[in-house]
Amino acid sequence: MREILGRRRRLRFRRSEEPAQLGAALTCATAWQWPVLPGVGLKTSGGRGSRGDRGDRTQGCACPDPECVVPGAHPFDPGILAATTDERLIRWWWTNRPTAPIMLATGGRAPCALSLPAVAGAVALTALDGMGMRLGPVVATPTRWSLLVAPYSLERLGELLYAKDWVPSSLRFHGEGGYLVLPPSETGTGHVRWERAPSPSSRLRSSRGDPIAGSAAPWLPDVEAVLDALVAASNGAPDGGSRLAY
């Protein structure tokens, strides 16, 4: 009996040490039904590579492009079409690459997103809060903030943008066929975190009272509800919102 109890304690200890990326990826895929895949990640060059070394070590993208503009924060192998909600595959990916960034494949039934420079993102959130707008999850990196929104089609997005006098190039749209890096990933620009943590929707139930699969996913606003504030905030950014900064 002691051996069995000891084994159970060891198993609980191992689960508690489960890598943060794996736990977050499983939550996205199995609880929220968001398709994810591992990002390319970072490689380290220079210095001796020890943990205590504070020398001239630099981090770059692990992809073959030496001038990658989104280091570590994009799919490579596997490609974006491999994104899945399959628990076994996700466990295999992050068991083999425990520090790999979490990439969300946007569009379809998954969330879409709008991203803008970090300074403009803070301004936009203040404006939306002042309007009493209910926001969904907001992903923050040191350089950009991304607001997750309900899925939209390219046709609908085109109609909304056509009605604008001008849309700054620093405002980016992550829709069908796109991707977005999710917390708690580490990229070339720094740590990825939740500026606004996901809050679950009211759990929907069938007529028999059974929970509907995927209904626990975080609540998402409609793209039209936040677009005006993001355009205005980007236009008022220090650089006029004209630079596409990653």
Return the pLDDT at 24: 96
Residue 192 belongs to some domain of the structure: yes
Residue 34 belongs to some domain of the structure: yes
Q: Is the pLDDT of residue 56 over 60?
A: no
Range of the domain at 122: 20-42+60-235
Residue 74 belongs to some domain of the structure: yes
Residue 246 belongs to some domain of the structure: no
Q: Structurally, how many domains does the chain consist of?
A: 1
Q: Are 59 and 42 in contact (CB under 8 A)?
A: yes
Q: Are 34 and 93 in contact (CB under 8 A)?
A: no
Return the pLDDT at 48: 45
User: Per-residue confidence at 30, pLDDT binned at 50, 70, 90?
Assistant: very high
Rounded CA-CA distance 219/137 in Å is 8
Q: Is the pLDDT of residue 244 over 90?
A: no
Lowest mean pLDDT among 134-138, 231-235, 240-244: 240-244
Select from 159, 182, 157, 184 the least CA-distant residue to 172.
157
Residue 112 belongs to some domain of the structure: yes
Residues in the chain: 246
Vertex 146 angle, CA 139 and 150, to 5°: 100
Calculate mean pLDDT across residues 65-77: 92
Return the pLDDT at 19: 76
Q: Are 119 and 237 in contact (CB under 8 A)?
A: yes
Residue 244 belongs to some domain of the structure: no
What DSSP string describes 166-209?
---TT-EEE-TT-EEEETT-EETTEE-EEEE---BPPPPB-TTS
Lowest mean pLDDT among 55-69, 127-141, 155-169: 55-69
Residue 80 belongs to some domain of the structure: yes
Question: What is the token pair recorded at 226?
Answer: 């936040």
User: Per-residue confidence at 184, pLDDT binned at 50, 70, 90?
Assistant: very high
Residue 2 belongs to some domain of the structure: no
